[in-house]
Amino acid sequence: MPYYRQVGEIPRKRHTQFRTPEGGLYAEELMGVEGFSSDSALLYHRHLPTAIVDSQTADDQRRGTEPNLPLKPRHFKTPDLTWDNADAVTGRRVLFGNADVVIAFVAATAPSPLYRNATGDELLYVQTGSGVVETIYGALPVGDGDYVVIPTSCTYRVVPTAGEPMRILVLEATGHIGPPKRYLSAKGQFLEHSPYCERDVRGPSEPLLADGEDVDVLVRHRAGLTRFTYANHPFDVVGWDGCLYPWAFNVRDFEPITGRLHQPPPVHQTFEGPNFVVCSFCPRKVDYHPLSIPVPYNHANVDSDELMFYVGGNYEARKGSGIGIGSLSLHPAGCTHGPQPGAVEASLGADFFDETAVMVDTFRPLELGEAAQACEDDAYAWTWARRQRA
Ligand SMILES: [Fe+2]
């Protein structure tokens, strides 16, 4: 994560005696990535973070993904997916996946179990609803438009606010997710040309302490799912410091980069992960050359699959395609895609696009999961030709 943060009580020097009010020692834990050679945090627990009393293989309902065959532009309607009092962990339905990332969706109304993902960082995008992401580092209140980055093996749970479901697009990476490196100084500070900076980043602000014995934590790891039972509640951290922690960033705090002529998608990049990037297309003033064409040119992204999640406004280049709020379009490598017929002419003279979309570009092909297959709009591929072969 970008910068150093300190929350709660910590000792003056690391790796020194830090005592509880009763005179015992707090248990120090280092959470670090890349084997003690990169970002880390030191956390101080009331109880041993190692003390488990049981470990059971958990039933993993998740099925595999299938190759994207035949290759074609695809449109999926997440509003057509249904859940019955799901939670944000066990209720995830897989839309897409490859060796680098699993992309899932959930409409959560119930609190999730305590959970951590040991295979990589997770990125949650909250489309609608609100709630609290409770973690061993503290709580993060989140709402619509929030991206939430949860580091590998951070124990957490999601508690939705009663009322509107939390609709969440979930990216489960097989590595680490962070801001694009080109926006960071050598020491990790956001640079002046970055579309967002430290002031836009929210982290836990105080410890979240819970009591309890024999507390279950569901762990997703490379071999499957395991349920650990901890002797004491894992939310027992009285303080921590470091540069590794969960954090949130709202898409409305992304400051779009614009120009006289069409700016390419990398100006919208918000995160990078292993073999994928995440971009935010936000409401913005558009191209101001007198002869500019504000919608994109046709493009063949020969090295990536392009997934767009439409979350606000009316996406200019996709008008007339059936795409609406909650839609996902998948334009895979091997296809050329571009504005819908008429969209170029319709965009001429526009000075503002009121649209919000989250884009995930993967550098390996995305396969289709059961949720994608359950909500596909089969007519989309033929919307440019406006007809299908008889
Ligand atoms: Fe595109």
pLDDT range class, residue 2, cuts 50, 70, 90: low
Q: How far is the CA of 263 from the centre of ligand 1 (A)?
A: 12
Mean pLDDT across the stretch 114-143? 98
Q: CB–CB of 96/171 below 8 Å?
A: no
pLDDT range class, residue 363, cuts 50, 70, 90: very high
Q: How far is the CA of 279 from the centre of ligand 1 (A)?
A: 11
Contacts of 13 (CB under 8 A, 6+ apart): none
Q: How far is the CA of 360 from the centre of ligand 1 (A)?
A: 10
- Residue 160, pLDDT score: 98
Q: How far is the CA of 274 from the centre of ligand 1 (A)?
A: 20
Q: How far is the CA of 196 from the centre of ligand 1 (A)?
A: 23
Q: How far is the CA of 85 from the centre of ligand 1 (A)?
A: 35
- Residue 1, pLDDT score: 54
CA distances from 29 to 50, 214, 229, 274, 322 (A): 9, 20, 19, 26, 51
Q: How far is the CA of 275 from the centre of ligand 1 (A)?
A: 17
- Give counts: helices (H), strands (E), the chain: 2, 29
For residue 344, give the nearest of 386, 293, 382 by alpha carbon.
Answer: 293
Q: How far is the CA of 175 from the centre of ligand 1 (A)?
A: 25
pLDDT digits 0-9 by tens, 220-277: 999 999 999 999 999 999 999 999 999 999 999 999 999 999 999 999 999 999 999 9
299 DSSP assignment? B
Q: How many CB atoms lie within 10 A of CB 373?
A: 13
Q: How far is the CA of 386 from the centre of ligand 1 (A)?
A: 19
Q: How far is the CA of 74 from the centre of ligand 1 (A)?
A: 12
Q: How far is the CA of 241 from the centre of ligand 1 (A)?
A: 40
Give the C-alpha separation, 356 to 284, whole Å. Answer: 9
Whether the pLDDT of residue 376 is over 60: the answer is yes
Q: How far is the CA of 306 from the centre of ligand 1 (A)?
A: 6
Residue 97 dihedral angles phi and psi, to the nearest 5° = -170, 155
Decide: helix, strand or coil at residue 259.
coil
Q: How far is the CA of 128 from the centre of ligand 1 (A)?
A: 24
298-182-178 Cα angle (round to 5): 95
Q: How far is the CA of 326 from the centre of ligand 1 (A)?
A: 17
pLDDT digits 0-9 by tens, 95-107: 999 999 999 999 9
Give the C-alpha separation, 143 to 166, whole Å. Answer: 8
Q: How far is the CA of 317 from the centre of ligand 1 (A)?
A: 9
Mean pLDDT across the stretch 383-389? 94
Q: How far is the CA of 73 from the centre of ligand 1 (A)?
A: 11
Q: How far is the CA of 366 from the centre of ligand 1 (A)?
A: 15
pLDDT digits 0-9 by tens, 34-81: 989 999 999 999 999 999 999 999 999 898 999 999 999 999 999 999
pLDDT digits 0-9 by tens, 282-307: 999 999 999 999 999 999 999 999 99
Q: How far is the CA of 198 from the centre of ligand 1 (A)?
A: 29
Give the C-alpha separation, 384 to 83, whole Å. Answer: 33
Q: How far is the CA of 331 from the centre of ligand 1 (A)?
A: 7
- Residue 314, pLDDT score: 82
- Residue 320, pLDDT score: 75
Q: How far is the CA of 94 from the centre of ligand 1 (A)?
A: 22
DSSP β-bridge partners for residue 361: 277, 306
Contacts of 262 (CB under 8 A, 6+ apart): 287, 292, 293, 294, 295, 296, 297
pLDDT range class, residue 166, cuts 50, 70, 90: very high
Give the C-alpha separation, 220 to 120, whole Å. Answer: 9
Q: How far is the CA of 337 from the centre of ligand 1 (A)?
A: 6
pLDDT digits 0-9 by tens, 323-361: 999 999 999 999 999 999 999 999 999 999 999 999 999
Contacts of 328 (CB under 8 A, 6+ apart): 75, 76, 77, 78, 95, 307, 308, 309, 310, 372
- Residue 97, pLDDT score: 98
Q: What percent of the chain clears pLDDT 90, i.e. is strictly above it?
A: 95
Arithmetic mean of pLDDT over the chain: 96
Q: How far is the CA of 262 from the centre of ligand 1 (A)?
A: 13
Mean pLDDT across the stretch 130-138? 98
- Residue 315, pLDDT score: 73
Where is pLDDT greater, at 317 or 41?
Answer: 41
pLDDT digits 0-9 by tens, 27-45: 999 999 998 999 999 999 9
Verdict on whether the full-model pTM lies above 0.95: yes
pLDDT range class, residue 125, cuts 50, 70, 90: very high
Residue found by looking up tokens 């049981």 in the block: 54
Q: How far is the CA of 299 from the centre of ligand 1 (A)?
A: 6
Q: How far is the CA of 234 from the centre of ligand 1 (A)?
A: 43
